[in-house]
């Protein structure tokens, strides 16, 4: 958790068809280097997450949910293609792509996961913890 108050943060996709507001604590940002995140973004995911009750989405009808696995969906704007959300079917929170927030976010990167699947054309050099797959403190799913 990066804060414990009712801080409001806003964000949107590239074209603005999808806008969202989060209220209160957000998880630190986790970079996921798995093959699905690599292919969806061209590099890696960088996402915080927020309890579902603290996330409001405007223009939700413009979000297409792609099922990359049996257990989770990846939400993106169907107009501009911006990756926005990752949602596990059985969890009551939504991962939100950190780069879609309006600046400044007040967020900080915490760690790297699924580093075994990382592309070979870059190195992780920020000194933060790196995990071959998931990390002990982070709920992740294959997908
Ligand atoms: Zn859009
Ligand atoms: Zn991933």
Q: Tell me the β-bridge partners of 97.
A: 47
In angstroms, the first-to-last Cα distance of the chain is 23
Which helix H or strand E contains 38, and what residues bound it? helix 35-41
Dist. CA 12 → ligand 2 center (Å): 21
pLDDT at 4: 54
Q: Is the pLDDT at 138 greater than 90, yes or no?
A: no
pLDDT at 135: 81
Dist. CA 82 → ligand 1 center (Å): 6
Residue whose tokens read 């996921």: 32
Specify the higher pLDDT residue, 5 or 2.
5
* CATH architecture, domain defined by 8-117: Beta Complex (2.170)
C-alpha 140/C-alpha 4 separation (Å) is 23
pLDDT at 68: 86
pLDDT in tens, 14-53: 999 999 999 998 999 999 999 999 999 999 999 999 999 9
Q: pLDDT band for position 139 (50/70/90)? A: low
Give, in order, the Cα–Cα distances in Å from 12 to each of 16, 26, 94.
Answer: 6, 17, 15
Dist. CA 62 → ligand 1 center (Å): 8
Listed residue (17, 129, 21) closest to 78, CA to CA = 17
pTM of the model: 0.90
Dist. CA 4 → ligand 1 center (Å): 30
All residues with CB under 5 Å from ion ligand 1: 13, 15, 17, 77, 79-80
């Amino acid at each position: 958790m990066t804060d414990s108050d009712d801080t409001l943060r806003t964000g949107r996709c590239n074209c603005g068809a999808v806008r969202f507001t989060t209220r209160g604590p957000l998880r630190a940002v986790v970079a996921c280097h798995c093959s699905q995140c690599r292919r969806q973004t061209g590099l890696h995911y960088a996402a915080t997450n927020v309890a579902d009750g603290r996330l409001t989405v405007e223009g939700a009808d413009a979000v297409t949910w792609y099922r990359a696995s049996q257990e989770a969906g990846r939400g993106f704007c169907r107009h501009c293609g911006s990756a926005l959300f990752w949602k596990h079917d059985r969890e009551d929170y939504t991962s939100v792509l950190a780069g879609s927030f309006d600046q400044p976010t007040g967020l900080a990167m915490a760690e790297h996961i699924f580093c075994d699947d990382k592309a070979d054309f870059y190195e992780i050099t920020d000194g933060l913890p790196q995990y071959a797959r998931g990390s002990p403190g982070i709920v992740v799913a294959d997908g």
